[in-house]
Amino acid sequence: MDVRVDADGIARCGWVGEDVEYCRYHDEEWGNPLHGDRALFEKLSLEGFQAGLSWITILRKRPRFREDFAQFDPETVAAFGPDDIERLMADAGIIRNRAKIIATIANAQIVTQMASGELDDFIWSFAPATPRPRPRVLAEIAATTPESEAMSKALRKRGFRFVGPTTMYALMQSGGMVDDHVAGCWRAT
């Protein structure tokens, strides 16, 4: 189903489903332009944890992720050591994937070496110059784009991990760099 009308009478993108938190996320966050180094570091990290999983899983665990990762403050996360890794691996409230935890810490270390605002500028430099046509159906939404492939390659060149082109396209969608709300969704304007 490309667009669904929920019990509240609102037409939403079909991927949302009936979960109240997912509806709130779709209505209030997904596709809104996101700026700021800390906010984008959080998004980059959570999208990395999402790789291979559903976003609703991450969304439900996001409050605990924020608590465990010091609100995704890059300076604090960059200083995490072996004890922090073991603490995170023991916490069932997050995704306990050692490689993703270590990557998040390493990515924070890279962010702390960047000037203030540089991560924001860098990420947004990959936003398409002109908006793509609005998808009419979910099948028209790409998994990757030349921009997400370029972003992934540039981030990997800087040393970032868990930043594949599909993951980076998800960041572009959720962070408002592209607008993939399907025609007929109330957010499609």
Domains of the chain with bracketed CATH: 37-175 (1.10.340.30)
Give pLDDT, residue 189.
Answer: 73
- Report the Cα 10 to chain-centroid distance in Å: 24
> Is 36 in contact with 120 (CB distance < 8 Å)?
yes
| Mean pLDDT estimate for the chain | 96
DSSP 106-134: HHHHHHHTSPTTHHHHHHHTTS-SSPPPP
Q: Distance between CA atoms of 68 and 47, rounded to whole angstroms? A: 16
Q: Distance between CA atoms of 40 and 119, rounded to whole angstroms? A: 8
Whether the predicted pLDDT of 29 surpasses 90: yes
Residue pLDDT, tens place only, 104-113: 999 999 999 9
Mean pLDDT, to the nearest integer, of 82-109?
98
| Nearest partner of 127 among 180, 178, 63, 77, judged by Cα | 178
35 annotated to bind ligand? no
Query: Which residues are identified as catalytic?
Result: 25, 47, 55
Residue 173's pLDDT band (boundaries 50, 70, 90)?
Answer: very high
Residue 18's pLDDT band (boundaries 50, 70, 90)?
Answer: confident
Both tokens of 151, joined, read 């972003």
181 annotated to bind ligand? yes
pTM: 0.95
Both tokens of 15, joined, read 């991927």
